[in-house]
């Protein structure tokens, strides 16, 4: 980390900023095109969200006004690629750059207006500006294409006008508007941009400067324009959010020359706080420079720290990152810290790039859950590639860290316990006397931040993480987190794209909403325990916390659906999940039978099925075997294999309905025969028969089963304190994605310092928070 910081200091002097701003620099290193962009001498065809657009442009206009190879010609080559990247459905960063309430200004839109056509339907207002000689074709393309896109994406259409204006004129009456796009006459090199009426009343969110810096004389005017526009945001926010920073997006083909880039950087650094990461840091960060899409060749080179996205960093070959931050800490006024460490930490954390990308690579999940349902949900997301930050109690950690024995022994030479087995399966635990194993049930592929969010500083840290997260999952009683300003409505004001999932025993509404609920209580109250157990025995719980696990599965599904929805709406949402709802949902056929018949359920059936016979476990000489004669044909196979083919034609057993009626006769008959041989003997007899059968194994035999091992369901990983440990692997197996246990469950607070460094805290600040008990 220190080497990276030094390399930054070697690049540019970091100065205190005059304004708050972020800069996004996109660079096209060669002339390769993306597979979804096609070009002829007079048109550009771009596929935008699966809709094909043809944008007309006259090369003669460019060559008649500028020499070939100058900015216009480069814009012609580059902006369709940027437009496609910004709006392509596969771009998971899309919702972080373009949002429905944003106002976007394009300085120098060019005659094609590619960015305006592509992006205007997805933002609140889009101003495509240029000098007078470009306006004719610019208006033509905006009118022909933007309206079409707006209709396809159900956006409102505005009034249009074809009035012309003299170069440099800024009056609103000479603008052309269609849909969300406005064409505005503007020579940004000569105009005081903030004086334009259309801009005065708006908060500016994004400025596109497509190929504006093509010679050194334009550097200072652009920097001045950027500073001028950033001032417009002060006090303009009416939505309850804090004033948003401006994001500047630049596109160029090597910025004409390194000298121009250097001039721009030095001038920009004089007004804004800037860090530029040199090319050498990113040689191993991408996919060989192939670009964003399969068959592509366009390498998009950065994203600002505010929008920095793990997937974007880890999959792309990056050459320049420039981040500009104001004097305020990313977590508010109570703490002061620069953003430099945050950028570097993102890159450090994703330094090992899998050969195949993970499905959720780049998605950040803030995990405020404990025990099993919530941690199991977030572990699934972590297995799929998300960066999961687990917030744990500052001293005791997750509740499951104390749930033992058994515990995994420590092997790092330190005193104290290892990890609880339960935590190893779902989460993490404070050091106990000898061991700690329980936490690991649902805590792999997570980072641990030990934090007291009852402290103001702790709340500020959680809010800062929520502001840069895609998903937050919590399982506190309704209203609990609102006391600390960590409820959905509060956090949504700072992050409109946040998906906030609440898991409780009985939901956010209803007469039981204020009740706490553990798995076994919900199993009892919501019907599962009543139908579980032997026919004449007492009700029993399922051997694993099945209600917790199914709730975790349901919640992870809901989150994935919300992430998918966000790609089209750019909005997050609140997900209300409860153990009680999920348990009722999984009553499945039993609930359906009760609803259809109007009668009470049939009670407990042990391993048997109320509607299928034979379909249960039968005794063997050394254990049990489960046999499934689910239809008449399979029942016939069973009869032949156990040596009584005549049973299949017995009038009492010829149909499943009959077999259910005479269950009390047939089941003992089969059992009397199966107990004469061992389980292994019966497995050999039924092998290849086509009839479902299975040994009843204990968990030890299951984890050592040939098939389980062949499928890679047990994996050994290295634990920070316990050394090599074995964990149950993820069941996901994708043909073209990497899904695996990337790292073992963390020790309590193992990643606290790293995560705080990402937020910009210095070592002294982190040590101070630790000494005060805010973090550990």
* Strand 499-504 with 574-578, pairing: parallel
Q: What b-and-e string marks burial along 656-681, b requiring 16 or more CB atoms within 10 Å of the CB? A: bebbeebbeebbeebeeebeebebee
Contact predicate 163/219, CB 8 Å: no
* Strand 499-504 with 471-474, pairing: parallel
* Strand 407-408 with 419-420, pairing: antiparallel
Contact predicate 313/344, CB 8 Å: no
What would the two tokens of residue 719 be? 């634990």
Count of other CB atoms within 10 angstroms of residue 84: 27
693 CB-near residues (< 8 Å, 6+ apart): 625, 626, 627, 628, 682, 683, 686
Using CA atoms, how far residue 627 sits from 9, 365, 615, 639, 679, in Å, is 71, 43, 6, 11, 12
Contact predicate 404/422, CB 8 Å: yes
CA–CA gap between residue 207 and residue 230 (Å, rounded): 10
**Catalytic residue from among 205, 399, 470, 548:** 548
Q: Is 243 a catalytic residue?
A: no
What would the two tokens of residue 341 be? 């460490």
Q: Please return the burial class of 322, using the count of CB atoms within 10 Å of its CB with bins 0-12, 13-18 and 19+.
A: buried
Cα dihedral 127, 133, 139, 141 sign? negative
Contact predicate 290/19, CB 8 Å: no
CA–CA gap between residue 236 and residue 687 (Å, rounded): 74
Contact predicate 53/116, CB 8 Å: no
Cα dihedral 553, 556, 558, 561 sign? negative
Residue labelled with tokens 């941690």: 375
Contact predicate 301/320, CB 8 Å: yes
Helix, strand, coil percentages for the chain (3-state, nearest 5): 40, 15, 45
Query: What's the N-to-C CA distance of the chain in angstroms?
Result: 21
Count of other CB atoms within 10 angstroms of residue 573: 17
Of 496, 20, 25, which Cα lies nearest the Cα of 232? Answer: 20
Q: What angle do CA 4, 9, 12 make, to 5 degrees?
A: 130
Residue labelled with tokens 């009035």: 163
Cα dihedral 232, 238, 243, 246 sign? negative
Q: Please return the burial class of 376, using the count of CB atoms within 10 Å of its CB with bins 0-12, 13-18 and 19+.
A: buried
Catalytic machinery residues: 548
């Amino acid at each position: 980390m220190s080497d990276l910081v030094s390399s930054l200091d070697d690049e540019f002097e970091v100065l205190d900023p005059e304004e708050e701003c972020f800069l996004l620099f996109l660079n096209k290193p060669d002339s390769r095109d993306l597979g979804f962009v096609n070009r002829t001498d007079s048109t550009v065809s771009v596929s935008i969200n699966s809709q094909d657009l043809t944008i007309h442009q006259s090369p003669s206009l460019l060559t008649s006004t500028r020499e070939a190879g100058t900015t216009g010609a480069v814009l012609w080559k580059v902006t369709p690629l940027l437009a496609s990247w910004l709006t392509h459905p596969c771009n998971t960063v899309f919702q972080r750059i373009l949002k429905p309430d944003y106002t976007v200004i394009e300085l120098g839109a060019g005659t094609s207006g590619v960015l305006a056509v592509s992006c205007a339907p997805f933002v609140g207002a889009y101003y495509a500006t240029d000098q007078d000689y470009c306006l004719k074709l610019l208006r033509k393309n905006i009118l022909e294409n933007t309206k079409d896109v707006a209709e396809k994406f159900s956006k409102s259409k505005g009034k249009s006008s074809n009035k012309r204006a003299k170069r440099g004129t800024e009056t609103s009456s000479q603008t052309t508007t269609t849909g969300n796009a406005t064409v505005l006459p503007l020579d940004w090199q000569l105009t005081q941009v903030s004086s334009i009426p259309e801009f005065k009343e708006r908060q500016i969110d994004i400025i596109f400067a497509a190929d504006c810096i093509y010679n050194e004389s334009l550097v200072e005017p652009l920097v001045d324009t950027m500073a001028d526009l950033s001032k417009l945001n002060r006090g303009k926010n009416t939505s309850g959010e804090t004033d948003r920073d401006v994001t500047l997006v630049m596109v160029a083909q090597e910025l004409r020359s390194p000298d121009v880039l250097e001039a721009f950087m030095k001038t920009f650094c004089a007004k804004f706080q800037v860090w530029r990461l040199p090319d050498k840091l990113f040689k191993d960060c991408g996919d060989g420079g192939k670009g964003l899409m399969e068959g592509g060749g366009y390498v998009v080179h950065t994203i600002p720290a505010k929008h920095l996205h793990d997937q974007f960093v880890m999959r792309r070959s990056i050459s320049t990152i420039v981040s500009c931050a104001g004097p305020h800490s990313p977590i508010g006024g109570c703490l002061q810290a620069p953003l430099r460490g945050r950028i570097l930490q993102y890159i450090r954390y994703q330094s090992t790039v899998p050969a195949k990308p993970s499905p959720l690579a780049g998605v950040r999940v803030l995990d405020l859950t404990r025990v099993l349902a919530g941690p199991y949900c977030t572990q699934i997301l972590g297995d799929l590639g998300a960066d999961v930050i687990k917030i744990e109690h500052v001293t005791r950690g997750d509740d499951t860290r104390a749930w033992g024995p058994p515990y995994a022994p420590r092997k790092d030479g330190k005193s104290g316990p290892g990890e609880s087995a339960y935590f190893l399966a779902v989460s993490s635990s404070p050091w106990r006397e000898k061991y700690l194993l329980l936490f690991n049930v649902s805590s792999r592929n997570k980072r641990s931040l030990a934090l007291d969010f009852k402290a103001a500083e702790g709340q500020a840290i959680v809010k800062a993480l929520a502001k840069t997260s895609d998903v937050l999952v919590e399982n506190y009683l309704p209203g609990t987190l609102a006391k600390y300003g960590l409820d959905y409505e509060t956090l949504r004001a700072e992050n409109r794209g946040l998906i906030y999932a609440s898991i409780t025993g009985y939901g956010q509404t209803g007469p039981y909403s204020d009740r706490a609920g553990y798995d076994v209580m919900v199993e009892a109250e919501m019907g599962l325990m009543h139908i579980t157990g032997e026919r004449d025995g007492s009700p029993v719980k399922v051997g694993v916390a099945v209600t917790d696990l199914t709730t975790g599965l349901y919640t992870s599904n809901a989150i994935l659906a919300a992430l998918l929805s966000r790609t089209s709406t750019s909005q997050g949402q609140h997900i209300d999940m409860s153990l009680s709802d999920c348990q009722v949902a999984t009553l499945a056929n039993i609930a359906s039978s009760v609803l259809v018949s109007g009668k009470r359920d049939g009670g407990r059936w042990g391993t048997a099925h109320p509607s299928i016979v034979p379909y249960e476990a039968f005794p063997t000489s050394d254990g049990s075997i489960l046999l499934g004669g689910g239809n008449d044909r399979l029942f016939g196979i069973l009869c032949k294999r156990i040596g009584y083919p005549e049973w299949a034609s017995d009038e009492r057993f010829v149909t499943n309905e009959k077999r259910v009626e005479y269950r009390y006769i047939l089941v003992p008959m089969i059992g009397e025969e199966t107990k004469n041989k061992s389980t292994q003997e019966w497995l050999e007899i039924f092998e290849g028969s086509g009839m479902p059968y299975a040994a009843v194994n204990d968990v030890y035999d299951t984890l050592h089963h040939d098939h389980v091992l062949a499928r890679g369901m047990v994996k050994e990983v290295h634990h920070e304190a316990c050394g090599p440990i074995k964990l149950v692997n993820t069941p996901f197996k994708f043909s073209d994605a990497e899904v695996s246990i990337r790292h073992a469950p963390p020790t309590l607070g193992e990643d606290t310092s790293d995560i705080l460094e990402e937020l910009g805290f210095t070592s002294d600040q982190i040590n101070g928070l630790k000494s005060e008990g805010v973090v550990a």
